[in-house]
Structure 1
Amino acid sequence: MSLLATLKDAQKAAMKAKDKPRLTAIRAVLAEVKQREIDNQTTLDDAGITSVLVKLVKQRRDSYTQYKDAGREDLADVEAGEITVLESFLPQPLSEEEIATLIDSAIADTGAAGMQDMGKVMGVIKAKAEGRADMGKVSGLIKQKLSA
């Protein structure tokens, strides 16, 4: 079953269960997917929908941090709930060992020798780990490997 079909089924289930927080988060994803499809005049595949989910989770995390810093626990809790819902549609996260193996193989595949090859390595890894790993942390690990 495609990710879009899964999202639509989850939307129906949330409507039937009258689960407003979950329904709100799912509708946000579906709206963003539809907007991207209209803007780019294409149909998004699972990888495209995953990138939308990653973007929305990142936005929610930023909002959560800002609300926490401002002392708005009520709004921070709403964002935390949406993060949980959105993350449930993302693929299983990679373990530290899997990330290290992925980085090593990407460096070997691209023949990266130094920091000037960072973009090549990130391109290979992003295609394989999008939504399954924090790309900021992955970037830091790649920098450590390439500068060593």
Structure 2
Amino acid sequence: MSLQERLDADLKTALKSGDKQRVSVIRMLRGELTNERIELGRAPDAREELEVLSRYARKRRDAAAEYAKGGRQDLVDKELAEAEITQGYLPSALAPEALGELVGAVITELGASGMKDMGRVMKEVLQRAAGRADGAAVSALVKTRLAS
């Protein structure tokens, strides 16, 4: 079942059960995917769809952090709930050990020797992780490995 089909099926279920928050999030996700399709001029592939969902979840978590700074707990809860619903459509994240192994393997394969190679290593690691790793975590790990 494709992501679009899964979203459509989940939207029907949420509408029938009266889960307004889930309906709202699924509609937003469908809109984000539609915007991506328009921007690309073609249907996004599976990797691009996961990137769209990851971006949306990250926006929700960032918004929650900003609302927390402003003391708006009601909005923090709403944003975190939306991020959690979105996270349900993403593959499970790589364990830190697995991510470390992946970074080490890519550095070895590319023959990276210093910070000048960080961009190449990051690009390859993020492609192989396919939406299962946070860019900030990968960046920190790559910096640590390349600096030593």
What's the CA shift string for 1:74-100, capped at 9, x where partnerless?
111110110110000110111111001
What's the CA shift string for 1:108-145, capped at 9, x where partnerless?
12111111010111111111224212210111111111
Work out whether residues 4 and 46 of structure 1, in 8 Å CA contact, stay in contact via their aligned partners in 2: no
**Ranges in structure 2 where 5+ consecutive residues have no aligned partner:** none
TM-score, normalization by structure 2? 0.95
Q: Which whole-Å CA distance do the structure 2 matches of 1:64 and 1:13 have between them?
A: 27
Q: Which whole-Å CA distance do the structure 2 matches of 1:28 and 1:130 have between them?
A: 22
Q: 2:59 maps to what in 1?
A: 59
Shift of 1:39: 2.0
Q: 1:101 maps to what in 2?
A: 101
Q: After TM superposition, list the pairs within 5 Å mapping 1:2-21 onto structure 2.
A: 2-21=2-21
Q: Which whole-Å CA distance do the structure 2 matches of 1:133 and 1:5 have between them?
A: 24
Moved segments of 4+, more than 3 Å:
none
Q: 1:47 maps to what in 2?
A: 47
In the alignment, residue 47 of structure 1 is paired with which amino acid?
R
In the alignment, residue 19 of structure 1 is paired with which amino acid?
D
Work out whether residues 126 and 133 of structure 2, in 8 Å CA contact, stay in contact via their aligned partners in 1: no
What's the CA shift string for 1:30-89, capped at 9, x where partnerless?
101101111221101211110011111111011101111111111111101101100001
Q: How many residue pairs were aligned?
A: 148
Q: After TM superposition, list the pairs within 5 Å mapping 1:62-77 onto structure 2.
A: 62-77=62-77
Q: After TM superposition, list the pairs within 5 Å mapping 1:68-87 onto structure 2.
A: 68-87=68-87
Please say if 1:31 is aligned against 2:31.
yes
Secondary structure of the equivalent of 2:24?
helix
Q: 2:114 maps to what in 1?
A: 114
Work out whether residues 107 and 121 of structure 2, in 8 Å CA contact, stay in contact via their aligned partners in 1: yes
